[in-house]
Amino acid sequence: MVTIRVPATSANFGPGFDSLGCALDMYATLSFTECEEGLTITGCLAHHRNKENLTVVSYQKTMEVLGLPMPGLILHIDSDIPISRGLGSSAAMIAAGVLAADAHHGSTLSNSELLAICTQIEGHPDNVAPALFGGLIASMMDENKPYMISYALHPDIHFCVLIPDFKLSTHKARAALPKTISFSDAVYNLSRTAVLCKALELNDTQLIRIAMHDKLHQPYRGKMIHEYDQLREMCMEAGCVAFFISGAGPSCMCIIENEHFMEIMNEKLSTLNHRWTMRSLHVDREGAQILGIGE
């Protein structure tokens, strides 16, 4: 049996659309046992207990890369990462499946090979890279090959995620984006992304606040999130350093320094129509971990 723990992730980080993602200390833990035949999945909804499960797909893809036949599999999922909320639940399942198959068969794949398999399944590396390796990661594609680099976030960087009681599919969120953007909007985001990465290393709150602004996806996706404008105004009034959509939404993320932020927000959230759950989070700096390998 192999047990894997994978962190949640927040991609499209501020202005870093499809390029920046950060691992967070919210986890999915999955246990894999190979057997002669069959597939048994527990710990998830019934409609995910089949061979289309992303974890199973990822396991099988890795076995193909290793040149080995797909075995029977007993899989148990224990995940604290909410589904379809913009917190990388799919990336966590993919990373777990790839890492588990590799671990079951000698851990022979390099980090770049692991990332390449995950990216092929996910479609882009901005979520799977931090899920695999932790921290804040900038990633890109060149000739269908993913590349990444890590940034050392300041240890005092502290997040609060607000998770609503409704979902937003990534497909619908991407469909809401325009087909083209203006040159000035592209420059707006490029300049802020470059500044943001260093500002997060230094914990320069003034620069973080300015550099977190975005013109590529949040103005469009915010319209799809119930009570988005009200929530953003509440968070800014409560003293957050920066407010941004996590992934494709609908969860929203705050960078905070005010120790009373969550206390203040708890009162404000009760006035909204939807139920928003708050959770204090820090950066996960380790990424996906093999917790155990045994019989």
Residue 190, helix vs strand vs coil: helix
Residue 240, helix vs strand vs coil: coil
Predicted confidence at residue 295, as pLDDT, reads 62
List pLDDT tens digits, range 216-256: 999 999 999 999 999 999 999 999 999 999 999 999 999 99
Q: What are phi and psi of 167, to 5 degrees?
A: -105, 165
Q: Give 283's strand partners.
A: 24
Omega cis (within 30) before 250: yes
Give 92-160 as a 3 state SS string.
HHHHHHHHHHHHHCCCCCCHHHHHHHHHHHHCCHHHHHHHHHCCEEEEEEECCEEEEEEECCCCCCCEE
What CATH number has the domain spanning 159-281? 3.30.70.890
Which amino acid does the sequence have at 124?
Answer: H
| Residue 72 near residue 65, CB atoms below 8 Å | no
Domain boundaries, the chain: 2-152+284-293, 159-281
- Please tell me the distance from the alpha carbon of residue 30 to that of residue 99, in angstroms, as a whole number: 11
Predicted confidence at residue 153, as pLDDT, reads 94
Predicted confidence at residue 258, as pLDDT, reads 83
Architecture of domain 2-152+284-293: 2-Layer Sandwich (3.30)
- Please tell me the distance from the alpha carbon of residue 55 to that of residue 78, in angstroms, as a whole number: 13
pLDDT under 70 in the chain at which residues?
295
Predicted confidence at residue 46, as pLDDT, reads 87
User: Are the folds of 2-152+284-293 and 159-281 the same?
Assistant: no
The b-or-e profile of 43-55 (16+ CB within 10 A means b, else e) is: ebeeebbeeebbb
